[in-house]
Amino acid sequence: MFQKILIANRGEIALRVLRACKELGIQTVVVHSTADSDAMHVRLADESVCIGPPPSRESYLNIHQIVAACEITGADAVHPGYGFLSENAKFADILAAHNITFIGPSGDHIRIMGDKIEAKRTAKRLGIPVVPGSDGAITDDKEAKRVAAEIGYPVIIKASAGGGGRGMKVAHTEADLEVALQTAKSEAGAAFGDDAVYIEKYLEKPRHIEVQVFGDGAGRGVHFGERDCSLQRRHQKVWEEANSPALNTEERSRIGGICAKAIADLGYSGAGTIEFLYENGEFYFIEMNTRLQVEHPVTEAITGIDLVHEQIRVASGGGLSVRQEDIKFNGHAIECRINAEDPRTFTPSPGTITHFHTPGGLGIRVDSGVYSGYKIPPYYDSLIGKLIVHGRNRVECMMRLRRALDEFVVDGIKTTLPLFRDLVGNPDIANGDYDIHWLEKYLAKGE
């Protein structure tokens, strides 16, 4: 087991990882920018190292500073959290070269999954169902037209280097295709420095369903069921559930089994999430994230397993603590992402939190790094906390969620809490009847 882990992140996830380390009796080091000196995880860590000024490029993304902090403090492993350097293959390679363990998969696996064309090709080879589309990058209009005619309109053109929902264009007819292709290529070139694009069938009313997987790096793979993250705004997840209200037990174990086998065959190590669009009973792979996800607590709630403990165990060579048959799904969980944003316009609302009171009671978990008197710096993501609610079934979970949202107080700034108070009373949400476009339509109606 590791002696000392350096946490290369901030906010709620830094605290989340810190808690797991403390439980395992591992010493903790946190790195932080000058804007985060007062953060809760900095106060609670055994050691902290200031690695630079507020802009992420000069601090949380500064590989040299982080490696230097490892050397100075004698950390033997790094947990990258999510975002920042968590899917940076070069960072994983550099740490390996310094004999520091990156708590995550190999640089090569990060690289494969970071290139969407390569990821899709790999998924297909491993027996994972993919969206029908071009085999690789599309370079000319003639080929684009041929592929689109074959799979049928509408189609979506996506950037191979894409991320954050950028560089995607939908074409409903052949007449739209040329323009969509050119726009997607130039947007991808400008945003990612790589203008490779590919074509897929555009699914009109899918749900976003993702499978949590783990590999031990030695040929064993397991799945922890799925999460439904269909409630999104601008491709950003807002509300996540486990299990998905749309799947039955047979579908769950079928897709889970396919993913677990793929991970085993790949020789993958650590936590990963295989993301699908789901429509008319079919799953279509869109991408794989090679890290811990923001929404991992809903999976922890229904399985009772600490996924960060598992990550640390696997990275230290201790293997997984569970076999597939040990993983049982118990009840239902929902997570609401609480952002420091205006609940109607979603403009960021940094500032000082004058009063912060979190709900409690059976089945309630709040993961947050903020506190009364905390000043939210304007430089980073607006996520200030996550409310995770567990119940024996979805109805009980929703009842408890409504109560917990009523109890939650964040004064001094605007937050997205009022949005969740509206959603929890909506009949479509109560019925679990929503797709990936539902929230955007709902928000458009309200304005």
Active site residues: 291
Q: Which of 120, 208, 291, 394 binds ligand ADP (CB under 6 A)?
A: 208
Distance CA 158, CA 116 (A): 9
Count Cβ atoms below 10 Å from residue 166 Cβ, excluding itself. Answer: 16
- Shorter beta-carbon distance to ligand ADP: residue 12 or 435: 435
Is 107 a residue that touches ligand ADP (CB under 6 A)? no
Helix, strand, coil percent content, the chain, rounded in steps of 5? 35, 25, 35
Q: How far is the CB of 282 from ligand ADP (least distance, A)?
A: 12
Sheet containing strand 27-33, edge to edge, reads 47-52, 27-33, 4-7, 77-79, 101-102
Task: Provide the minimum distance between the beta carbon of 176 and ligand ADP in the complex, in angstroms, as a whole number.
Answer: 15
CA–centroid distance for 121 within its chain: 22
Give me the residues paired with residue 348 across strands.
Answer: 341
Cα four-point dihedral sign 29, 33, 34, 40: negative
C-alpha–C-alpha distance, residues 424 and 309, integer Å:
32
Phi, psi of 193 (to 5 degrees): 70, 20
Nearer to ligand ADP, 46 or 176 (CB): 176
d(CA 291, CA 81): 7
202 near ligand ADP, rule: CB under 6 A: yes
**Minimal distance in Å, beta carbon 167 to ligand ADP?**
7
- Contact characters 132-171, ligand ADP, x per CB under 6 A: ------------------------x-----xxxx--x---
CB-nearer residue toward ligand ADP: 117 or 260 = 117
**Minimum Å distance from CB 277 to ligand ADP?**
6
What is the identity of the amino acid at 73? T
Site string for ligand ADP, 76-95 (x = CB under 6 A): --------------------
Q: Which is nearer to ligand ADP, 54 or 132 (CB)?
A: 132
Binding segment for ligand ADP (CB under 6 A), chosen from 78-86, 196-204, 247-255, 439-447, is 196-204
Q: Does 200 help bind ligand ADP (rule: CB under 6 A)?
A: yes
β-strand pairing of 47-52 with 27-33? parallel
> What value does the CA radius of gyration of the chain take, rounded to a whole number of Å?
22
Q: Could you tell me which residues are beta bridge partners of residue 336?
A: 239, 387
Dist. CA 124–CA 379, nearest whole Å: 39
Q: What is d(CA 277, CA 249) in angstroms, rounded to the nearest whole number?
A: 18
| Complex with ligand ADP: residue 162 or 256, whichever CB lies closer | 162
Rounded to a whole number of angstroms, the minimum distance from the CB of residue 353 to ligand ADP is 30
Of 76 and 200, CB closest to ligand ADP: 200
CB of 72 to ligand ADP, least distance (A): 35
Nearer to ligand ADP, 274 or 286 (CB): 286
Residue 203 lies near ligand ADP (rule: CB under 6 A): yes
CA 224, CA 327: separation in Å to the nearest integer?
A: 7
- How remote is the C-alpha of 227 from its chain's centroid? 11
Ramachandran angles phi, psi of 239, nearest 5°: -145, 130
Q: Contacts with ligand ADP in 297-326 (CB under 6 A)?
A: none
Q: How many residues bind ligand ADP (CB under 6 A)?
A: 19
Contacts of ligand ADP in 18-47 (CB under 6 A): none
| Stretch in the footprint of ligand ADP (CB under 6 A) among 85-93, 95-103, 195-203, 220-228 | 195-203
Chain centroid to Cα 337, Å, comes to 12
Decide if 6 contacts 73 (C-beta within 8 A): yes
**Residue 31 has which token pair?**
């790195």
**Nearest residue (CB) to ligand ADP, 164 versus 427:** 164
- Give the range of 43-51, 52-60, 199-207, 254-262 binding ligand ADP by CB under 6 A: 199-207
Among the listed residues 235, 254, 344, 392, the single contact to ligand ADP using CB under 6 A? 235
Task: Give the binding site for ligand ADP (CB under 6 A).
Answer: 131, 156, 162-165, 168, 200-203, 206, 208, 235, 275, 277, 286-287, 436
